[in-house]
Amino acid sequence: MPVGVGWVNTGAVRFVNQNFNDTILRQVHRDTQGLGDLLYANILERTPVRTGALMSSILEEVNTEDITNDDLIVFTVDEGPQMGAWNRVYWMYQEGNPLGLSTYTNAPHQMFYKVETDDLDLINAWIKGSIDSSLDVLAGGNGIPDK
């Protein structure tokens, strides 16, 4: 049984010939859908209930495959439901600054912007779990092979 550099526990776990960076990136991307679903639910929770057309227009694009793209999740607004319901677009006034427009009658809801502030603990816990699962993949010798 081979022992030495690259072998741990007398060959039970093999680390050599694996690309650590690409393996971690692949696992993070594969786990992204779960984070996207959690953040999407939080955005909907921050969205005013009285604006159902606004809630139905929030779109989530999750990147679970392309490790060369740093964007894991992109949230956007399809303005069609708002135009259909009210003949105008309201999301930017509900969002308020810095991502939307100033609102003079109500405090902004910051549905999207608060992801970067209120959801940081959730994001940090998710990334820790994703990296832990990446290390399990590497420890099992199932990482992306080195080139």
Q: Exposure of 119 by Cβ count < 10 A (0-12 exposed, 13-18 middle, 19+ buried)?
A: middle
Residue ranges of domains in the chain: 17-136
Measured CA to CA, the distance from residue 67 to residue 138 in angstroms comes to 17
Helices then strands, counting H and E runs in the chain, come out as 6, 4
Strand ranges for 9-69 from DSSP E: 13-14, 58-62
Tell me what pLDDT residue 98 has: 84
The sign of the CA dihedral 5, 10, 15, 16 is positive
Residue 35 identity (one-letter amino acid): L
- Using a cut of 0.85, tell me whether the model's pTM lies above it: no
pLDDT at res. 13: 47
pLDDT of residue 73: 93
Rounded to 10 degrees, the C-alpha dihedral 18/21/23/26 comes to -160
pLDDT digits (tens), the chain, 147 positions: 333 233 333 344 456 788 888 999 999 999 999 999 999 999 988 888 666 788 888 999 999 999 999 899 999 889 888 888 889 888 888 888 888 888 777 788 888 899 989 999 999 999 999 999 999 999 888 998 887
- The pLDDT of residue 51 is 66
Query: Is residue 96 within 8 Å of residue 106, measured between CB atoms?
Result: no
